Every structure is written in structure tokens, then in C-alpha cells.
Structure 1
Amino acid sequence: MSPAQDDPGQSPNPWDPFASRTGEDAQGPSALRPPQPEPTPPAGPSGTAVEASRVSREAAPHAHPHTPRRGPGWGGVSALVLAGMLLSSGATLGGVVAYDRIIAPLTSAQAPSEPASPSPTGPDVEPVSTGGATVADWSEVAEQVAPSTVAIQVRTATGTSQGTGVVLSEDGSVLTNDHVVAGGDQVQVTLADGLTYTAAVVGADPSTDLAVIRLDAPPPDLQPATFGDSELVEVGDPVMAVGTPLGLENTVTTGIVSAVDRPVTTEGEEEDGSDAAFTSAIQTDAAINPGNSGGPLVDARGHVVGVNTAIAAIPGTDRAVGSIGLGFAIPSNTARLIADQLGEGGTVRHAYVGVTTQDGTRSVGDVTHRGAEVVGVEPDSPAVEAGIQEGDLITAFDDVSIGGAAALTAVVRGQEVGSEHTLTVVRGEKERAIRITLGERP
């Protein structure tokens, strides 16, 4: 296995959760990208990395107080292969849906979806926790988020595709997946009231599978979505996915958060894997299907806690199959971090550690640790300043367990440049905590 680096962009095989990556921060298995998903088998026990493929573009609560989270390990993706990127459903008028490299019959493509609610200059952010709230009134939540959710139709050189978006501000800015709008030469947005507007791409970031588009002439009553703090999301929290699956606008599905900090990597279109996307995702059993891409995952209060981006598929089955109860969303905190930068200048600054890593294990006494083994440290990098050495096994990033190289990449990719964190490292026979300030990936 070749070593993985901070920059997952040069992974030998972005679809292989076990493959090491080359780039800056050897990180792990998680990513989401433009329309070209390939469903893969779902992961097994907690601690497995998931490879997500996007569903191509054709086609038609409440939370509890925050506690330390050692989420599902980022180990290998043995049993779980991420299925096609569920977000955008592609459809060439003939009714054929391309799930990122998968072809399946589909209906037409077009339709609005349901919104959530942010502020004029950017999405409002409120705590996710409702502290012991009663059962959610989903009909009320659906009514609340509908005005902030939109259906996105994209015309490409080969046909048309469709996805979903979340209204960010009154100026017409909308957040969606990069794979929903990638390659499009014409973008239209349909609001919950059925009215359609033209839009243009403001900026896109394939490495996180996020993009911001803006309506050319937004209506005066456009309602931004309200974003929650995804760090407060816990396993078991009730959630609702809103979008335009298979062209069926204003569709809502409910479920729970089935895992947090799940490493997900989705394949891009470049053979060298330079456009692979990595995400430390929120996993949910709320049904997500082609066309849901870019849409909101909201809590019981109607606050956006994630942006739906990929689904998993059982190995050996038709990748065009829809939800099997394993969907993945980009955490709202990461989405807002990237959206703010895309909306301002179109360029995103990515954090990095400055190491090349590969999946590794280390036995200390009767305990075997699994993590990202450092096989190279870049000169003048944050890793050097922090004192990280070759041979170190990174097993945790703050309170998030790191089960492999891809996991580290996914976690770091969602952090802010200049932020400080604690890496748990096994060196020799001892485990130690190392403080590090993340730098900007060159």
C-alpha cells in the first residue's frame, strides 16, 4: 500500500478506502464529489471507512449536550463501499439516469425542493440541542424548511441533471454539491412555490464536493435556512432529509443519525484521483436517493445539520439502486466554512498537517492500536513544528478516532486553517498527546 498524504487529491485509487493517499495530510477514507457516484458495499462494524460514490446527475431535533465523540473508526472500508453520490440525479431526456457512472432508468428531471432557513449575509447558526424536546412534529418541520430548499436543474453537454440546494442568503446564494453543477452550462433553480430562476456558479470546491450558486434575480422574499452546530449532533438524533429524489420535488424522508464522523471518500472523474472528495460525514438511515444531492439534512427543529451528498450500496448489486438506509451528509460546520469562502471569493483555503501516511497498526502490550502511520513529514510544515515524527501512529484527532490514513484526511479537510487541535499518537511503547496548529495546504 502506498503512503497517503494530507492531500488526498493524489490517491492511487480514491475508491479504495484502504488505498493510501498522496497529498498533504495523510487522511482517511471519506469524500464526496461531483456527479459520478459508484455505489459500494456498506461498511460493517463501527470503525470502517466508507467509499461513497455520487449518484450521477441525471434525472429526473433535537440533539443532546455535546460529549466527546470517538466516532466510527476510520479504518478500512472492508464491508462498506460508498454507493453513487446520491445527491444529483442525472437524466438525459430519454429517461436514463447516470449515477455517476451508473446507468438506470429514471423519470424526468426537474423540480423544486424544500428549504431550510439562514440569514441575509450568511446562514444563521443556532445550537442543535433541544434539551429533552418531545417527539418532533415533522409536518411542521417540513413546512418550515420548504421555503429554504430548492430544486436545481443543470444542462450539460450530454443532457440534463438535477439536484437540490439550500438557500444561504437573501441575495440569492444557494449551497449545493459540486457534483450537482459540475460541467453545467446552464443552471436553473426552482423554489418551493414552483417559480424557476436562472442562476450561475459562484464557486466550487471538488475536494469537499460543495459549490455555491447565485440566482441572477432573486425574489425579495427569499428565505435563508437556519444552520445548526453539527458538532452537537449525536447518534440517535432524529433527522429529516429534504430534496428532489428522482425528480420528485418537495420530498421529505425521516430517520435518525446512525453514526457521526464516518470517513467517506467519493471518486471523481480524474484517473489520478486528484479530484476525489473526502468527508468526515454524518451517517443517516433517512432515505436519500439520486436527486437529493446538495439538499439539507435537518434536525427536529428544522435546523440544517448536514448537506446530503452520498449513499452506500451493497457490493455486487446494481449501483443504480437507491437508498439502502446508509446515507451520508457533509456536516453543517464544514459546509458553512467552505460556503463562506466560496461566496466571498470563490477560492477555498484547506487545512493540512504536512505528513504522508498509510494505514497502520501498533501493538502495545495486549492492546493493538489502529490509525494513520506517518511515513513522511514535509519540511517546514505544521507537523514539523508540532514534533510529529516518521513512525508515529496517529490514532485520534481531538475526540475523533482515526482508524487509517483516509480518516485523517477527511477530518483535517473539514477544519479551519490556523485552528489548534490535539493528535493522539502512539510512539514506541507509549501513547502521547501532541498539540498542532493546522497550516494552509500549499
Structure 2
Amino acid sequence: MPPSVPPTRPPPDPQIRRAQRTDLLLRAAVIWLLLLATAWVAQPYLSSLWFSVSGPRTVTARGDLAPAETATIELFKRVSPSVVHVFAQSSRRSPSLFEQQQEGGVQSGSGVIWDAAGHVITNNHVIQGATALGARLSTGEFVTARVVGTAPNYDLAVLQLERPRAELRPIAIGSSSDLQVGQSAFAIGSPYGLEQTLTTGIVSALQRRLPTAAAHEVSGVIQTDAAINPGNSGGPLLDSAGRLIGLNTAIISGSGASAGIGFAIPVDSVNRIATALIKTGTVPVPGIGIIAADENEAARLGIDGVVVVRTLPGSPAARAGLTGASETGMVEDVIVGANGQEIHSMSDLAATLERVGIGNEVKLQVIRDGRARTINVEVTDIARLRRS
């Protein structure tokens, strides 16, 4: 009997095999999607469970401060005790109201301790019209103050602190004659009443001119982009050595807040004027005794120079023969030069007279009737001349 042969299976249909593989792939994809969705939903809970810190974090070692940071920190520590917060009350109230910023007619600014005797330098506009004054030292001590003297033409004032208990630290004085655009500048003050605020920047420009409330212009003004806001007035502008190079006094801003354009009265002017105010309570104003036409009026007439409207009786200008406008308004003398420098405005002339100094002579170039002539005029203290 022949051996039996097992029946052979027919080969699977290729279409069935492809369908089975497709089904397996779909199932695997669905499973992976479900796993991914589960992980996505559970991730926040798992992260919170596994990675949450149960106690305080370990402090990461910082390392040394950068040299520039260290220098700025040391500058602030060294200079801030020389800066005070000045309060001026415009009506008679209890002195305790000085403690309340901008309360009951109190305005405030900043100031610098000038000497160990307790003199403080600030802006005249900070204390103008005040009936009571005070200052808060860096120690927190509040001290009443009185006015020693003011110089509205330069927007400067000197105060005297009355019986401070804390030891006073006068600010170090620098020079504004050798400043350079681009060097570092630092401002300390009380912007918006926030005491002992430090801002940094650079000297943005030099030899600016700044009008004051007394219809005078301060020359040689320093421009800086260190943030200066209301309340910084009277505070120091410093160089990188921590020396006073200017007294912050004004900003240019449409909103009244810092826009990176601030101005400081140069320390060389502050030094000279503060010395005079401490000695006599007043500061000499160099002049020759003329009343000049408004610059806009001179420009309207097409005149480039200082138009002499009249001379003060007994003044050096009158003695030198300068002549004011006639009764019919005809221009007589126009000052176009001084000591070889062109004069275009009263500000130019005032700056030259300050450089010449009281008691010395200035050589003026004057145009009259289209002809030029040179005359020597003595520079005098016109503030005294007006009082006499």
C-alpha cells in the first residue's frame, strides 16, 4: 500500500496578507496615539510629582562682581552720605509736614553737603518762595535749614543746616574744565521723592547754554543721558572718581519725565558762586551796564549782534561812550565783538564778561552808523550797580 501524502495548503491570497498587515499597522498606530495622548495629559502631573523642589533651592555661586559694578557700588557708598533730600514749604505749617512728600505745599529736590560747617548747595528753583526749609540726611535724620544766599541768575542757592547730630561728609569737588564727551557720569538724588537714587550714563555734550528764571543764561552747561527726573534738581553729577562735576538742574522732556537729556551747572561755576554766597550772601554779576534789545527783535531788524537800547547811569558803558537807541527808536551802537571773539547775542557777551572778570577791561568791537570802532570798557558788578 503506497504511503499517504499529506494534503498541501494552498498559498495565502496576497490581498489577504496585505489586509492583515494593514490592520496590524492601524492597531499599532492607534495604540501609539493612545499612549502619546495619555503621556501628554499626564505630563504636568508627572513633572510636578517628579521634579518639584520640596525645600529651598540651593544658591548658585555667583563669582566676583565685574570691575565696573564694583567701582559703581563703591562710588555710591562713598558719595551718597554727601547727598541730602531738600524740602521747601511754601506756606507756614508745622515743620513735621516736611516729612510728608508733596503734602500741604511742600516741594522737594536734592542737595550736596558742601563743607563740614553744614552748608548745602542746591538749585534756587527748589527753595524759591519757601517760608520753611529742611533736609533729610542719608542717615534718615531730618534737619531744619535756613537760606544763606541765592543766585537766581545761576539757579543756585546755599542753605545752612541747623544743628545736625550726624557727622557731615562734604562732597569731593572735581573740575568741569577738562571734561570730555563720552566719559561716565553718575547722578544721585531724590527723583519723585525716592531718596538716594543712583542713575548712570555719560557726558553727552558740553558747553550748552541753559536759561534761568532770572532771564539769564548759564554757559558751559553739561548735558548728560543719566536719568534725571523731578526731585533730582540740586543733586550731584559725578565723574567715575566720585567727584562733583556738576549740579543737576533741568531736563528736556515733553512728559516731564527723563528723556535722556538732562543738564547740570558746571562745578567750576558752582565752586565760584557758592564761595561768594557763603562769604557775602550774594554773588557778583559781571556786566558793563547796558540794557540790550531782545534777540528776536534784533533778528527781525536783520542785525547780528547786541543792540544797545540804553545804558545805566554812571555805568562803565555810559562812561566809555556807548549810546543807546534814540528817542525815535533808531539803533545807535551794536556790539559785534569782544576781545577778538564774535558776539551774536547777549549770552555771548555775558560769557565773555564772566571770563574777563570784574575789575578788568574788555575790548569791545562796536558798529555805529555802519562804521566799526573799538572801545575799552571796565567789567563791573551790575548787581551792585543796580542797587546803588
Q: TM-score range by the shorter chain?
A: 0.5 to 0.7
Q: Is the 8 A contact 2:335 2:367 kept in 1?
A: yes
Whole-angstrom CA distance in 1 between matches of 2:84 and 2:263 = 19
Shift of 1:139: 2.7
* CA pair 309-425 structure 1, distance change in 2 beyond 3 A: farther
2:248 counterpart letter in structure 1: N
User: Would you say 1:439 and 2:377 are equivalent positions?
Assistant: no
2:358 counterpart letter in structure 1: V
* CA pair 277-357 structure 1, distance change in 2 beyond 3 A: closer
* CA pair 241-424 structure 1, distance change in 2 beyond 3 A: farther
Paired residue secondary structure (1:207): helix
Shift of 1:244: 0.6
Aligned counterpart, 1:139: 73
Larger helix proportion of the pair? 2
Question: Residue 278 of structure 2: which of 331, 343, 346 is its match?
Answer: 343
Larger strand proportion of the pair? 1
Q: Is the 8 A contact 1:263 1:279 kept in 2?
A: yes
Question: Residue 394 of structure 1: which of 323, 330, 336 is its match?
Answer: 336
Q: Is the 8 A contact 1:370 1:395 kept in 2?
A: no
Whole-angstrom CA distance in 2 between matches of 1:260 and 1:398 = 22
> Where do 1:214-225 residues align within 5 Å?
214-219=160-165, 221-225=167-171
Aligned counterpart, 2:210: 264
Q: Is the 8 A contact 2:365 2:374 kept in 1?
A: yes
Greater Rg by CA? 2
1:226 counterpart letter in structure 2: A
* CA pair 408-191 structure 1, distance change in 2 beyond 3 A: same
| TM-score, normalising length: structure 1 | 0.57
Aligned counterpart, 1:381: 315
Q: Is the 8 A contact 1:264 1:410 kept in 2?
A: no
Higher relative CO (Cα under 8 Å, sequence separation at least 6) belongs to 1
Q: Is the 8 A contact 1:308 1:330 kept in 2?
A: yes
Question: Residue 218 of structure 2: which of 265, 279, 283 is its match?
Answer: 279
Question: Residue 250 of structure 1: which of 196, 200, 203 is its match?
Answer: 196
Q: Is the 8 A contact 2:338 2:365 kept in 1?
A: yes
Question: Residue 210 of structure 1: which of 156, 174, 183 is its match?
Answer: 156
User: Would you say 1:417 and 2:358 are equivalent positions?
Assistant: yes
Shift of 1:237: 3.3
Whole-angstrom CA distance in 2 between matches of 1:376 and 1:208 = 24
RMSD: 3.6
Aligned counterpart, 1:154: 88
Cα deviation 1:55-99 (Å, max 9, x = unaligned): xxxxxxxxxxxxxxxxxxxxxxxxxxxxxxxxxxxxxxxxxxxxx
Question: Residue 238 of structure 2: which of 289, 298, 312 is its match?
Answer: 298
Whole-angstrom CA distance in 2 between matches of 1:194 and 1:222 = 13
Unaligned runs of 5+ in 2: 1-67, 92-103, 324-331
Paired residue secondary structure (2:169): coil
> Where do 1:39-438 residues align within 5 Å?
137-157=71-91, 158-219=104-165, 221-267=167-213, 275-280=214-219, 281-313=221-253, 317-318=254-255, 321-358=256-293, 359=295, 360=298, 370-378=304-312, 380-383=314-317, 390-394=332-336, 403-409=344-350, 412=353, 416-419=357-360, 437-438=378-379
Q: Is the 8 A contact 1:171 1:218 kept in 2?
A: no
Aligned counterpart, 2:95: none
Unaligned runs of 5+ in 1: 1-133, 268-274, 362-367
Shift of 1:295: 0.8
Q: Is the 8 A contact 2:305 2:334 kept in 1?
A: no
1:305 counterpart letter in structure 2: I
Shift of 1:241: 1.6
Aligned counterpart, 1:84: none
* CA pair 197-383 structure 1, distance change in 2 beyond 3 A: same
Q: Is the 8 A contact 1:151 1:165 kept in 2?
A: yes
1:209 counterpart letter in structure 2: D
* CA pair 184-375 structure 1, distance change in 2 beyond 3 A: closer
Whole-angstrom CA distance in 1 between matches of 2:228 and 2:339 = 29
Paired residue secondary structure (1:201): strand
Shift of 1:300: 1.9
Q: Is the 8 A contact 1:152 1:189 kept in 2?
A: yes
Whole-angstrom CA distance in 2 between matches of 1:229 and 1:427 = 41
Shift of 1:292: 0.5
Shift of 1:333: 2.0
